A and B are shown apart, each in its own frame.
Chain A
């Protein structure tokens, strides 16, 4: 049950029929909106031409999946360590992490990809563009995740830290048993949003010729000149990945609520 944000008066639990009706109306309105636009366009669909290249969509989608999955894990680890470094008593760690977060969040991902691929990766002899793709995506997303983690951990009240100290926990035990379990609930909604962004941002790796979904869609488009038929599957390919994340996050949030 969602907490009422706007409505201060208590509401009855919504009926199933009401919920279903709400969805039907919303989807119908959306379909109507776009049907009208396409109808005005009088567009000649050419799905047959694109269907020929369906295999490219699958291989591209699979590349997007594994690159995103790898970057998701790596950026979460990065974000967690950077968040800890940001509140560390060591000055150098604090400055380094602040510098990292501000530089990454303040510059376009596109520029970061180019600089990392043509300068850093080249200079350090990393030639595998998929490896570069995973690293640069993790570095980029890690900065945002670090801030999400930091906000979550700071959200745990100081009286909780004091209680943890009073029962004799070490700083590490305090983090593990008190701070993290409480921070995780606050962190889930922005974190799942960031994960969805990461998956979509992987599309920019197409500019360094990482053979992922967007690059394949672009190629199909240039072979068939059927722009919408190439890019609509692209959108669906990403939705298949991002929707489960937000659904999963919502279920976890429910499960992690405190009382009783």
Chain B
């Protein structure tokens, strides 16, 4: 992906969340955004995934400007996949139907085609025997993997992950990170907001450090983590890597 952000600002009820953000990622497969809680990471991801229009500023994907009119955003959201922290799935539908319903209603698949694709995706994430279960009967890690399966069922070129493991215990976190790695191995571009610094360093080509509504650091993950220039970033990485 080629992503450029210009002067992006957003305030909630007069409180600025993003302050004139500017950053660029050129020819990047995986972009990870890290930083302290409340710094605006999830808000930035929501704007980039077409869920939230900014107050001002511009976003360019491969050089073309992103339109924030609701009609265009809807079309945009139908091209990208998004996975949230938790509560992604529709609780009244089985795992299989969670995947198949958007395929039928949004992407125009036939009943049989949608079911086949859903089962194929579930099988890829070792969830073959869980397709008939509703989310309430799945573990947290299984739920997130179903959510990932749903987000990539229509073969999007770009996927967004908003802290996909922060509600999970370590074992489940491992399952989900493995699933994300598999998604990457299929050659899809990823943009992820995460607390898993180790995972970000491993998988990302580019790392942005976002704090207090500003991008303070950007570059190759190793450089950003080991040689951060700002005090905030230094302190942050020191703490999260301490234990």
Contact = CB atoms under 8 A, between A and B. Distances in A.
A151 B185 CA distance: 45
B153 to A, nearest CB: 10
Contact of A160 (B74, B78, B90, B102): B90
A259 interface: yes
Given A157-B87, A169-B105, 5 more contacts: A160-B87, A168-B102, A168-B107, A170-B74, A259-B137
Interface string B29-65: 0000000000000000000010100000000000000
B150 A260 contact: no
A168 B84 contact: no
B68 to A, nearest CB: 14
A182 B136 CA distance: 14
Please indicate which of the listed interface residues B51, B87, B107 has the most CB atoms of chain A within 10 Å of its own CB: B87
Interface residues of B, number: 26
A260 B84 contact: no
A168 B78 contact: yes
Contacts of B150: 167
Given A168-B74, A182-B92, A159 B136 contact: no
Nearest to A158: B87
A167 B102 contact: yes
B137 A162 contact: no
Contacts of A173: 105-106
Interface string A147-160: 00000000001011
A76 to B, nearest CB: 21
A22 interface: no
Interface of A: 157, 159-160, 162-170, 173, 177-178, 181-182, 256, 258-260
B229 interface: no
Contacts of B92: 181-182, 256, 258
B124 interface: no
B134 A168 contact: no
B88 interface: yes
B89 interface: yes
A162 to B, nearest CB: 6
A101 B105 CA distance: 35
A188 to B, nearest CB: 14
Given A258-B134, A259-B137, A165 B89 contact: no
A260 B131 CA distance: 11
A168 B136 contact: no
Given A159-B84, A162-B51, A163-B90, A258 B102 contact: no
Contacts of A182: 90-92
Interface string B73-99: 010011000101011111110000000
